[in-house]
Amino acid sequence: MAEPMGFFTDTSVCIGCKACETACKAWNQLPAKEGGHPPMSGDSYDNTVRLSGEDWRHVKFIEQFSEDRSAGRWLMMSDVCKHCVNAPCLEVCPTGAIIRTEFDTVVIQTDACNGCRLCITACPFGVIDVNPVSKTAEKCTLCYDRLQVGMQPACAQACPTASIQFGPIAQLKATATARLSQLQAQGEKQASLYGADDKMLGGLNSFYLLLDEPGVYGLPVDPKMPTRNLFWGSVSSVAAAVVLGVVGLFGFRERRAVDESDADA
């Protein structure tokens, strides 16, 4: 296996230019949303609205202003598949379409996927959706095709401010830690890394530097593996089945008892 590769996205220098979004579309030849003329969302400068099977990158815009404008921020963040080390989508996929590559990234094999859409429900970040052309589940491949020939992902290459940094995970983590301490020294007390350690799903191979709570960016605080519910879910089912079986068997006994008393009478 090659070295684990991924993204460090420093949202503090993201200018919301959407070059990443567009580069991804161009490289992967993804269809334009609603033929290129969706209605204006009214949600700041975001008209893509969410990650989906045709938008594998999505730049979020979060306006935070106090009523008198004495405090104000406009946060931007380029969202993408997190390429989780323990990937919930991969875990549940019933066809084996989702694989882990030699770069420790998570890829959906379009030709294997049958569109059951279970992976959509499993991804804690709302990354996956069905692509209207292939009609299969699609998401960022971390440019597997480019990585295989030694190129960097299209989005990272297009990013003018190096908000998206691509590289070996170990190296990115060092960069991220340094940037975090710089920001904190500059008084950005709320700044934090998201997914940079292995506590979150074993680590996110696309991790972030955020300037506010994860929830503000639409990110879960504590994303979990879907199988966390497998044990108790099964127990509840089995228990219910046992109860029903017992009820049924007791039903026979009661029926017999009633019959006998009927006969007695």
Partner 1 sequence: MAECHPVAFRWVMKAKLKGAKIIHADPRFTRTTAMADVYAPLRAGSDIAFLGGLIRYVLHDERWKSDSFFQDYLVNYTNASTLVDPGFQDTEDLDGEFSGLMDYTGGKPEWPLNGFIGEYERASWGYQREGTAPGKPASGDTTTAFDALIRGLSQSPVRKDPTLEDPRCVFQIVKRHFDRYTPAMVADVTGCAVDTFVKVAQTVLSNSGRDRTTAWAYAVGWTQHTYGPQMIGCCALLQLLLGNIGRPGGGVIALRGHVSIQGSTDIPTLYDNIHGYMVAPSTLKSHATLRDYLKAEAKPTGAWSDMPKFMVSYLKSMYGDAATAANDFGYGWHPRIAGDHSHLPMFVAMAEGRVKGMICVGQNPATSVNASLERTGLRKLEWLVVKDNFLTETATYWNRAPEIANGSIAPADIATEVFFFPSAQVAETEGSFTNTQRLLQWHFKAAQPPADCRSDLWFTYQLGVRLKRLYAGSTETRDEGFQRLTWNFDPDDPATAVVGEPDPRKLLREINGYHSASPLRHLEAASELRDDGSTTCASWIYCGVFPAPDRNLAARKTPDQKGVTGAHLEWGWAWPANRRVLYNRASADLQGKPWSERKRWVWWDGGKWAGHDVPDFPRHKSPDAPADPRASGTDALSGSSPFTLKADGVGWLFVPEGLVDGPLPTHYEPAESPVRNPLYARQTSPVLKYWKREDNLLAAPGDPRFPHVITTYRLTEHYVGGGMSRWSPWLSALQPELFIEMSPELADAHGIVNTGWVRISTPRGSIRAKALVTRRLRPFRIAGKVVHQVGMPWHWGWEGVVTGDVVNNLTALVGDPNVSIHEAKAFVCNVEKG
Partner 2 sequence: MKAMPMPDTFFTASPHWGWLIVFYFFIGGIAGAAFFLSALLHLFGRAADRPVVRTGYLVALSGVIVSAILLVVDLSRPLRFWHMLIQSNTGWPMFKAWSPMSVGSWAFALFGVFTALAALGAWAEIRAPASPLRRLANGLPGKAIAVLGGSSGVFVAGYTGVMLSVTNRPLWGDSSVLGGLFLSSAASGAAAVLVLATTWRGRRDATSLEWLQRVDRGALMLKGVLLVAVVVSLGAAAQVLVGIWGVALAAVLIGGVLVPLLMRRGRWSIPERPMMVASALLVLAGGFLLRVVVIFSSESVYVMGAGVHGP
Residues between 43 and 102 with contacts to partner 2, criterion CB under 8 A: 43-44, 49-52, 62-64, 66, 71, 88, 91-97
Q: How would you classify residue 146: left for phi > 0, otherwise alpha for psi between -120 and 50, otherwise beta?
A: alpha
Position 65 contacts partner 1 (CB under 8 A): yes
What residue has token string 């959706």? 129
Taking a C-beta distance cutoff of 8 angstroms, is the pair 5, 147 a contact? yes
Sheet bearing 206-210, strands edge to edge: 164-168, 5-10, 206-210, 192-194
Give the binding range for partner 1 (CB under 8 A) out of 64-72, 94-102, 130-138, 197-205. 64-72
69 part of the interface to partner 1, by CB under 8 A: yes
Give strand ranges (E) for the chain. Answer: 5-10, 58-65, 72-79, 98-100, 106-108, 129-130, 137-138, 164-168, 192-194, 206-210
Closest distance between ligand SF4 and the C-beta of residue 118, in Å? Answer: 4
Residue 223's nearest CA partner among 95, 91, 109 is 91
Residues near 125 by beta carbon (within 8 Å), at least 6 away in sequence: 51, 79, 81, 82, 219, 220, 223
20 counts as binding ligand SF4 under rule CB under 6 A: yes
Q: Which is nearer to partner 1, 164 or 201 (CB)?
A: 164
257 contacts partner 2 (rule: CB under 8 A): no
The answer to the question of residue 211 lying near partner 2 (CB under 8 A) is no
> Do 25 and 154 contact (CB within 8 A), yes or no?
no
Quick note: the x/- pattern for ligand SF4 over 125-164, rule CB under 6 A, is: x-xx-------xx-xxxxx---------xxx--xxxx-xx
Is 122 in a helix, a strand, or coil?
helix
| Binder of residue 154, out of ligand SF4, partner 2, partner 1, none (CB less than 5 to 8 A by kind) | ligand SF4
The nearer residue to ligand SF4, 83 or 173, going by C-beta atoms, is 83
Residue 74 engages partner 1 in binding (rule: CB under 8 A) = yes
218 is a site residue for partner 2 (CB under 8 A): yes
Could you tell which of partner 2, ligand SF4, partner 1, none binds residue 224, using a CB distance below 5 to 8 A set by kind? partner 2
State yes or no: residue 184 binds partner 1 (CB under 8 A): no
Beta strand residue intervals within 126-229, DSSP E: 129-130, 137-138, 164-168, 192-194, 206-210
Q: Does 182 bind partner 2 (CB under 8 A)?
A: no
Tokens 């949600």, located at residue: 43
Choices 19-27, 105-113, 148-156, 235-243 (CB under 8 A): range interacting with partner 1: 19-27
Site for ligand SF4, rule CB under 6 A: 14-20, 23-24, 27-28, 56-57, 59, 76, 78, 80-84, 87-89, 93, 95, 97-98, 106, 108, 113-119, 123, 125, 127-128, 136-137, 139-143, 153-155, 158-161, 163-164
